[in-house]
């Protein structure tokens, strides 16, 4: 049985992947900075200090790594702190997973990610995508969702408004614009799990690629 590590297992996407993999009785390690609430019985937990981990951390042997770690500039408090989480932490985890035997990496990125973008958020996401592709994984699956919808542990008023707006605007986003539709976190997690044994190389996934 293959072993999967989930980085960001307490977040919106990570917790959905964790629950679904455990429901399949897969071998799962939840990587987090604090204990994961409602951790499934058959999941293992690895709690780390990310700053120390950058220096000398090691990951257990694994076959797949799911990187769902991320924050917002508002929560991080600065662009520097945001980049530390969304680039440095994620890249470090990817490197250590590769050293531990992982052949497949699945990354939650963002629609519009581009290392040449003038938008700091999208530029950072694009730079991470490129850096991860240079690590030599057999398979790299990059998921570029738009606005994420699902049950978060924290309540955000702005997000509630955005969800209502998404319900109105989504039906009008058709054809090439469909990739900007809001994305259900549970469906995204389901798709990420289904593609962990996908073809070698770099594979991109958008809204239209989600399993229904």
Q: What pLDDT digit, counting tens, does each position of 23-49 carry?
A: 999 999 999 998 888 899 899 999 999
Report the greatest alpha carbon distance in the chain: 49
Of the listed ranges 45-59, 94-108, 172-186, the least confidently predicted one is: 172-186
pLDDT of residue 18: 96
Can you tell me the distance from the alpha carbon of 125 to that of 140, in angstroms, rounded to the nearest whole number? 15
Of the listed ranges 83-92, 104-113, 169-178, 184-193, the least confidently predicted one is: 169-178
Residue 200 per-residue DSSP state:
S
How remote is the C-alpha of 105 from its chain's centroid? 10
Task: Measure Cα distances from 99 to 59, 93, 103, 187 in Å.
Answer: 8, 10, 10, 30
25 is annotated as an active-site residue: no
Question: Is 117 inside a domain boundary?
Answer: yes
Residues 44 and 30 sit within 8 Å (Cβ to Cβ): yes
* Domain count along the chain: 1
CATH number at residue 26: 3.40.50.720
Question: Is 168 inside a domain boundary?
Answer: no
205 is annotated as an active-site residue: no
The Cβ-side half-sphere exposure at 141, using a 13 Å CA radius, reads: 24
Domain, as residue range, for 56: 3-150+183-205
Question: Is 125 inside a domain boundary?
Answer: yes
Q: What pLDDT digit, counting tens, does each position of 92-141 carry?
A: 999 999 999 999 999 999 999 999 999 999 999 999 999 999 999 999 99
Nearest residue to 187 via CA among 4, 6, 12: 12
Q: Which residue has the tokens 């799962």?
A: 28
Question: Is 115 inside a domain boundary?
Answer: yes
Question: Is 142 inside a domain boundary?
Answer: yes
Can you tell me the distance from the alpha carbon of 114 to that of 128, in angstroms, rounded to the nearest whole number? 9
Question: Is 167 inside a domain boundary?
Answer: no
Annotated catalytic residue within 15, 96, 98, 125 = 125
Torsion, CA 31, CA 124, CA 203, CA 175, rounded to 10: 120
* SS3 call for 205: strand
Give me the sign of the Cα torsion angle 110, 115, 119, 124.
positive
Residues 40 and 18 sit within 8 Å (Cβ to Cβ): yes
Question: Is 178 inside a domain boundary?
Answer: no
Question: Is 31 inside a domain boundary?
Answer: yes
163-175 mean pLDDT: 63
Around Cβ 131, how many Cβ atoms within 10 Å? 15
Residue 40 per-residue DSSP state:
-
- Kindly give the residue spans of alpha helices, DSSP state H, lying in the chain: 12-23, 50-56, 73-76, 79-83, 90-99, 120-133, 157-169, 185-194
pLDDT of residue 179: 76
Annotated catalytic residue within 95, 121, 123, 190 = 121
């Amino acid at each position: 049985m293959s072993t999967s590590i989930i980085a960001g297992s307490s977040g919106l996407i990570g917790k959905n992947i964790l629950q679904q993999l455990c429901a399949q009785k897969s071998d799962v390690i939840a990587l987090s900075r604090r204990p994961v609430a409602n951790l499934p019985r058959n999941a293992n937990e690895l709690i780390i200090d990310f700053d120390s981990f950058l220096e000398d951390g090691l990951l257990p042997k694994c076959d797949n790594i799911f990187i769902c770690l991320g924050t917002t500039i508002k929560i991080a408090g600065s662009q520097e702190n945001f980049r530390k989480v969304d680039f440095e932490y994620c890249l470090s985890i990817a490197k250590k997973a590769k050293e531990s035997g992982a052949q497949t990496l699945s990354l939650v990125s963002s629609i519009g990610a581009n290392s040449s973008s003038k938008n700091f958020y999208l530029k950072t996401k694009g730079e991470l995508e490129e850096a991860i592709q240079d690590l030599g994984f057999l398979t790299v699956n990059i998921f570029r969702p738009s606005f994420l919808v699902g049950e978060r542990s924290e309540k955000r008023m702005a997000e509630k408004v955005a969800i209502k707006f998404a319900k109105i605007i989504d039906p009008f986003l058709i054809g090439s614009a469909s990739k900007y539709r809001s994305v259900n976190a549970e469906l995204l997690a389901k798709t990420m799990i289904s593609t962990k044994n996908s073809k070698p190389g770099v594979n991109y996934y958008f809204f239209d690629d989600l399993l229904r």
